[in-house]
A = this chain, B = another copy of it.
Amino acid sequence: MTTHTIAVLPGDGIGKEVMPEALKVLDRVGAMFDIGFRFSHFDWSCETWLATGSMMPPDGMDRLSQHDAILLGAVGYPTVPDHISLWGMLIPIRRDFDQYVNLRPVRLLPGIPCPLAGRGPGDIDFWIVRENTEGEYSQIGGRFAEGSEAEGVAQTAIFTRRGTDRIMRYAFDLAQRLNRPHVSSATKSNGLFHSMPYWDERFERMAAEYPQIRTDVHHIDILAARFVMYPERFDVVVGSNLFGDILSDLGPGVTGTIAIAPSANINPERRFPSMFEPVHGSAPDIAGRNIANPIGQVWATAMMLDHLGEAEAASRVLRAIEHVTANPSATVRTADIGGTASTSACGDAIVAAL
């Protein structure tokens, strides 16, 4: 029996409510497929920050590094500024563990009501490959003339050749591996004078190495519109940290609910643990009521299983999710998808469907 060591970080808000459902699923799937899991539980969160002034203990990264993977809930709390909490845990984990690929499926599942007219399951099914360690997310900059009328702030994005090329290569390789030989690039080279013309240049070069893969390039503004008008046209979409972030909430919006979408923060070289989390946030407005949809967290867990080499277990979890979303009964559906189920009832239904 293989045993995987998993660092479990529920984080804040509904993160604490959806995580137990993911763990139930792992327990069940472990028993079914003879996979062992050893969990380390870490309660690092905004509450830690409020109590201690930092999100993680000083040896936090060290402790996480001793695991095969990290399962994260969500981070964010009303009384802690978002840039403090996120730059105190989520973003450093992505960077220090060189999880430079953020992979996010956009897929319309059976039974999920689609906000777009005339689309059903199978009509929308593509992948977003988001750069996850550099670009627009940057601490370079600061205020000038603070307190005066001339006050302002500068914010500098950095795109390296290495960072740009490796995410593009991952996107092209993924398109090839999935036999979806079509990569779309998100740019804004007409407005962002330095960064995006460089992005385009690297994309063109990379495309030349993959002559069998069809490519197209869209400015982010029109690309966002096309996600709504023609979502069936996409296979693999590659974008910078910010553009990938925007597209990977918009995509789940187009497919009905962001509560079910997962996010894999991957270090492809496996020098460091990768991290798996739902796309949704800590949702303080509904936290503490046991009504959050746990599917995003469970789907993230399926992506983790896949990354750990447990492909069969992963696809079984995904089928169980689809079984539940296809079930019209209000007693297994959470409120966001038109039912009355509690978080745990939905989790139980997934376990039962396994």
Interface residues of A (CB under 8 A from B): 76, 81-83, 85-87, 91, 114-118, 136-139, 141-143, 149-163, 188-198, 219-222, 224-229, 241-242, 245-250, 252-254, 258, 281
Contacts and interface: CB of A to CB of B under 8 A. Distances in A.
A192 B154 CA distance: 11
B241 A253 contact: no
B149 A161 contact: yes
10 contacts: A83-B189, A114-B117, A139-B194, A141-B156, A150-B161, A151-B161, A192-B242, A220-B245, A221-B245, A221-B248
B249 A153 contact: no
A56 to B, nearest CB: 17
Which of A86, A159, A246 has its CB near the most chain B CB atoms (within 10 A)?
A246
A268 to B, nearest CB: 19
A56 B151 CA distance: 33
Contacts of A153: 158-159, 194-195, 198
Contacts of A117: 114-118
A143 B83 contact: no
B228 A188 contact: no
A155 B157 contact: yes
Given A188-B245, A224-B250, 9 more contacts: A115-B116, A116-B116, A138-B192, A141-B194, A153-B198, A155-B157, A156-B157, A221-B245, A225-B249
Contacts of A250: 221, 224-225, 228, 250
A338 B4 CA distance: 55
Given A82-B190, A83-B190, A141-B194, A115 B258 contact: no
B258 A246 contact: no
A159 to B, nearest CB: 5
A323 B114 CA distance: 31
A160 B150 contact: yes
A228 B192 contact: no
A308 to B, nearest CB: 28
Contacts of A157: 154-157
Contacts of A241: 191
Contacts of A248: 221
A154 to B, nearest CB: 6
A32 to B, nearest CB: 34
A258 B222 contact: yes
Which of A193, A249, A254 has its CB near the most chain B CB atoms (within 10 A)?
A193
Contacts of A188: 242, 245
B161 A152 contact: yes
Given A117-B116, A228-B115, A192 B253 contact: no
A249 B224 contact: yes
Contacts of A192: 83, 136-138, 155, 242
Contact of A86 (B138, B149, B191, B247): B191
Given A191-B242, A224-B250, A253-B229, A160 B151 contact: yes
B228 A246 contact: no
Nearest to A142: B194
Contacts of A224: 224, 246-247, 249-250, 253
A193 B249 contact: no
A197 B83 contact: yes
A141 B193 contact: yes
